[in-house]
Structure 1
Amino acid sequence: MRLPAWLSQHLAALRALLVLTVLLGIAYPLAFVAIGRIPGLSGKADGSLVHAAGATVGSTLIGQSFTDADGTPDPRYFQSRPSAAGDGYDPTSTAASNLGPESVVDTADAPSLLTQVCARSVAVGKLEGVDGRRPFCTPDGVGAVLAVFRRDGLTGPVTRVVSVNETGRPFIQAYAGVTVEPASPGVDYVAAGGLVTPIRGDAPDEPVVPADAVTASGSGLDPDISVAYANLQAARVARERGVAVERVRELIAEHTEGRGLGFLGEPAVGVLGLNLALDGE
């Protein structure tokens, strides 16, 4: 007896569903679980977890903060780069700030990327005892940006100047012969016709504080820092631990990974492994 066409089509679809469910829903996942149990791969499959003193202390793939109970950087440890993932290094909220080079004017909701970078640079400079100045940043750690109003809009004499990221005393007193005003909260000076004008200032061309110390990674989970940032922290860590700075630099070198495939990216230092090595000292 020949089955009706519609029933044959439904049975064929059901058979295909069952076969694909077994292959892709059961066999395929189990195969990769089995591959993940192969010696040498099991650690990576389990998240590259790091154990110390009988406890899991982190992962080589996910960064973490090294702070005290108040959230202040612990001076005994090397500090990681900033993170925009949740409250910091939250793998369930991996994300970047999505702010770009044109984010230089603070808003009522959040500081601009420039101000975030400036504030972090000042904080790192104080922690490490170095010059934290950067171009286009004020000494107080906000973006050194003016809204410049001209008589004819884009041209003509300057008629008014506002330091858009400062509600207190402006970082400069005058611009083009016009007194600089502090910003009033909630006022959009750009929408009012002010021309955004960053002021470079007298900061060195090459800031002492490296870029990765003041910017978050795209994922917010980067576990590594640059060799330059690690070396910047070496003196402080050595002082706080009472260890020779030469020994700290040796540990930095031991925990430095080279470029990917020998030519991709830059050498990087694993912060967690380095801090564990310091504790082992």
Structure 2
Amino acid sequence: MRKDAITSLLAVVVLTVLLGVLYPLAVTGISQVTMKDRADGSVLHRDGRAVGSTLIGQDFRRPAKDPDGSARKDADGEPVLVADPRYFQSRPSVTGYKPNATAFSNRGPNGKDTKEAIDVNVAAYLALERPYDAGLTVARIPVDAVTDSASGVDPHISQANARIQARRVAKVRGLPLHRVLDAVDDHTAGRGLGVLGEPGVNVLELNLALDGLRGTAARAGGTSSSTTTTEGTR
């Protein structure tokens, strides 16, 4: 029995050193040499400050204001957030885009609550985009624009979604539409390995690029619900 106990203890020590120390150090060292940016979280910097990661979606809404200028609150006393028209909007999120609590709604595809949630998102999307695209109909709305992502922090939106939003962003910022569409194309990632999934537009990268364009009529300067959005870089 003593021999078995010693053998078990040695196995625990050896495996702990190998798998808990040496292996992580080896993987970390190799990744730091071969893919440092990705190993460090694909963090984006602006003016020397980290403003987010290309892997994590952010919230580009801003607090709604009452006529007297005070922040509007909901029934629970929380600030009411509305889409900032200067920015491309990320996919809807049930977690409020919090990366430390990624989750999806867990609603069934045929459930009544699913339909109600999508109807709310559709109405909000039309209210935001139709003033800049009079021909926008429900049938034209991309699925990703009104449904939650699996993580709640998907950094990408579809090209179709981005092209619809481009009309609003160009108008509000006073930019030619073709410049905004060019920026969309510049920040579109292709299919994985050339065949997997669909092309996606990185929202944070795109919004950062737009803030850097000359001739922007409305520069970001308000308060966002996210501490690391482009607005937080100023």
1:122 and 1:132 in contact (8 A); partners too: no
Cα 1:132–1:244, aligned 2, differ >3 Å: closer, same or farther? Answer: closer
Q: Deviation of residue 69 (structure 1)?
A: 3.1
Q: For residues 17 and 48 of structure 2, what CA distance do their matches in structure 1 show?
A: 40
* Partner deviation per Cα, 1:226-263 (whole Å, 9 max, x = no partner): 00000001111011110001111111111111111212
Among residues 137, 141, 154, which one is paired with 1:209 in the alignment? 141
TM-score normalised per structure 1: 0.66
Q: Is 1:78 matched up with 2:88? A: yes
Q: Is 1:68 matched up with 2:62? A: yes
Q: Of the two, which has the highest radius of gyration?
A: 1
Query: Hey, which of these two has a bigger chunk of strand by percent?
Result: 1
Among residues 36, 39, 42, which one is paired with 2:36 in the alignment? 42
1:10-21 matches, within 5 Å, as 10-21=5-16
Q: For residues 157 and 36 of structure 2, what CA distance do their matches in structure 1 show?
A: 26
Q: Deviation of residue 131 (structure 1)?
A: 6.2
Cα 1:275–1:133, aligned 2, differ >3 Å: closer, same or farther? Answer: same
Q: Is 1:25 matched up with 2:23? A: no
- Consecutive unaligned residues in structure 2, runs of 5 or more: 65-80, 214-234
* Partner deviation per Cα, 1:164-200 (whole Å, 9 max, x = no partner): xxxxxxxxxxxxxxxxxxxxxxxxxxxxxxxxxxxxx
Amino acid at match of 1:82: P
Q: For residues 196 and 13 of structure 2, what CA distance do their matches in structure 1 show?
A: 45
Q: For residues 5 and 167 of structure 2, what CA distance do their matches in structure 1 show?
A: 73
Tell me, what secondary structure is at the counterpart of 2:193?
A: coil
Q: Which residue of 2 aligns with 1:55?
A: 49
Q: For residues 52 and 190 of structure 2, what CA distance do their matches in structure 1 show?
A: 22
1:1-281 matches, within 5 Å, as 6-39=1-34, 41-70=35-64, 71-84=81-94, 86=95, 88-104=96-112, 112-129=113-130, 130=134, 134=138, 207-281=139-213
1:100 and 1:113 in contact (8 A); partners too: yes
TM-score normalised per structure 2: 0.79
Moved over 3 A (4+): 130-134
Q: For residues 106 and 88 of structure 2, what CA distance do their matches in structure 1 show?
A: 27
* Partner deviation per Cα, 1:30-81 (whole Å, 9 max, x = no partner): 1122123114x12111111111122111111010111123321110010111
- Consecutive unaligned residues in structure 1, runs of 5 or more: 1-5, 105-111, 135-206
The number of equivalent residue pairs is 194
Percent of counterpart pairs with the same letter? Answer: 49
Query: Hey, which of these two has a bigger chunk of helix by percent?
Result: 2
Higher relative contact order (CA 8 A, sep 6+): 2
Q: Deviation of residue 218 (structure 1)?
A: 1.0
